[in-house]
Every structure is written in structure tokens, then in C-alpha cells.
Amino acid sequence: MIKRWKAIFLGQKAIMICSILIIIFFGAALLAPWIAPHDPIKVNLLQKLKDPSAEHLLGTDHLGRDTLSRLLYGARISLGFATVIFISSLGIGLIIGALAGYMGGWIDSILMRLCEGIMAFPNLVLVLGVVGIFGPGLMQVLLALMLVQWVYYARVCRNMVVSLKQQNFITAARISGSSSWKIIYKHIIPNIQRPIIVIGTLEMGWAIMDISALSFLGLGIQPPHAEWGAMIHEGTSYIRSHPELMIYPGMFILVVVVTFNILGEALSEKYGVKRR
């Protein structure tokens, strides 16, 4: 029994199940305009705070907007922005990490000290600081999250490059006259794929949490866009009479983030990669 559970949480099965779930999440987010039963920002005060019905499967919020539709559109924002942050911080991290590892010397020290400087801050504190200084808004939130997340990719990439540089086949490639870019493309990228997939999966979960936390504080996306954290915040005004308004979006965040975390852990176990 326990063995079976373990198999579900770790190992091949977990990877399968979580991957399928994540594809479903992304599918729901992409297809939201077609599968959502209602317009998520359509206000209809005559229909406000309605209980679930055939018309509104999860009921309506304080402005009569369909909760299910808002949750689906919320997935677009959470997953969409998490992906944007993932790709951009990965890009920045790879370039800087490869640069540091490849060049070595003082460039390496400066860049790595910068990474340590950024890592000296607790994540959310730095994000909040950036948002505080540049002002609330979605772009600022994205910028801030990118700013703190590239560091992890950069470190992995740099360490990998440094260790590869000392190995024979790279030297051989260099002697045989391959260009630097070719070496990076042919030898380095395939070697750092695994740690990056692991870090990336875990980072996606963190990014979704951070985006929702910032929206909850009122620093992220502005209304009327549906965002899970912002929906929780709105729902708290009705915690006495309609707690479900606050409960549903939280469940969505929880399920999505748990899936990413289990997948990340399973992958790290499978590839033998240490988590950050």
C-alpha cells in the first residue's frame, strides 16, 4: 500500500500523472475563451452572489460575474506569466552563466558575487522592494520576479560549464577547431538540460505563488482581470456569507503548485539532480 503511494509520489508514475495534469492546466488556460461558459468581466448585479446552478456551475461573485469563468481566465494569467518569467529568466541565466563559466577570471567573480548578492535577499522581499521602488503594476512584478530568478539558472549553468571545460572532450573539440558557439550548442546545452528542467519546474510553482501573493497584496494585476490571488482578496470581504468565493481560487493555486512541486521532485530524483 505504502509502496504504491510512493510510486505515485515519486518515480515514473508521478512524472506521467503530473505531466498530464500540467498539460490539462495549460490546455484549459489556452482554451479559456472557448470553454469558459461566460464572459469573466461581464458585470450583472441582478445575478450577484448566486449559489451554484446549471447556469453558473460555481455560482457568481459580488458583481454577478461567473466564478468558473473567472477561475479559467485566472489560469491564463497565472500560468501565462509564470511561463514568461520562466523563459526570460532562463534566457538571462543561461547567457550570464555561460559567460561567467566560459570566460572565468574576474568576469566570473563579479557575476557570481552579484548572484550571491541577490541570493542574500529573501525572494519575496526583493520582489516587493523592486515593486515598491518602481511602483505597483504587472510589468514591474514580472521584472522583479525575473530579476530574482535568473540567478539560479545562471549558477547551475556556470558550474556545469566550468566542470565541462575541464573535461577532455571539450578540449578535444576546441583543438579540432570547433567554434565557441558550436561547443556551447553541442556539448554544454545537452548537459545542463536536466538540472534546468528540474529547477524550471520548481520555479514555475514558486512564480505562480509569488504572482498570486503580489496580486493579493494589490500590487500585481489591476481589475477587472481575473487573477487567483486577487480573487481571494475580493472573496475575503464575503467570508461570512460566501466563503466559497475565497476558497475556490485558493484550491486552484494549491492544486497547480502541488502538481509542479511533485513533478519537480520526481524529476530531480529521477535525474539525480540536487534541488536549488
How far is 90 from 142, CA to CA, in rounded Å? 14
Residue ranges of the alpha helices (H) in the chain?
2-9, 12-30, 32-35, 67-103, 105-119, 123-134, 138-165, 168-175, 180-183, 189-216, 228-235, 244-271
User: Shortest gap between Cβ of 97 and another protein (angstroms)?
Assistant: 15
33 binds another protein (CB under 8 A): no
Q: How many residues bind another protein (CB under 8 A)?
A: 69
Side-chain-facing half-sphere of 265: CA atoms under 13 Å: 14
Instruction: Tell me, residue by residue from 62 to 81, as one string, x for binding to another protein by CB under 8 A and - for no binding.
Output: xxx-----------------
Binding another protein (rule: CB under 8 A), the pick from 232, 263, 266, 267 is 232
Residue ranges of the alpha helices (H) in 104-188?
105-119, 123-134, 138-165, 168-175, 180-183
Binding another protein (rule: CB under 8 A), the pick from 104, 169, 237, 271 is 237
Instruction: Tell me, residue by residue from 188 to 207, as one string, x for binding to another protein by CB under 8 A and - for no binding.
Output: -----------------x--
Q: Judging by beta carbons within 10 Å of its beta carbon (0-12, 13-18, 19+), is residue 2 exposed, middle or buried?
A: exposed
At 263, the amino acid letter reads L
Binding another protein (rule: CB under 8 A), the pick from 122, 167, 169, 182 is 122
Instruction: Tell me, residue by residue from 91 to 120, as one string, x for binding to another protein by CB under 8 A and - for no binding.
Output: ----------------------xx-xxxxx
The three cell numbers locating residue 173: 573539440
Dihedral sign computed on CA atoms, order 111, 117, 119, 123 = negative
How far is 16 from 21, CA to CA, in rounded Å? 9
Candidates 70-78, 80-88, 92-100, 134-142; binding stretch for another protein (CB under 8 A): 134-142
Binding another protein (rule: CB under 8 A), the pick from 90, 154, 253, 263 is 253
| Closer residue to another protein, CB minimum distance, 37 or 136 | 136
Residues at the interface with another protein (CB under 8 A): 2-3, 5-6, 9, 41-43, 45-46, 48, 62-64, 113-114, 116-126, 128-136, 205, 209, 212-213, 216-219, 222-224, 229, 232-234, 236-241, 243, 246-247, 249-250, 253-254, 257-258, 261-262, 276
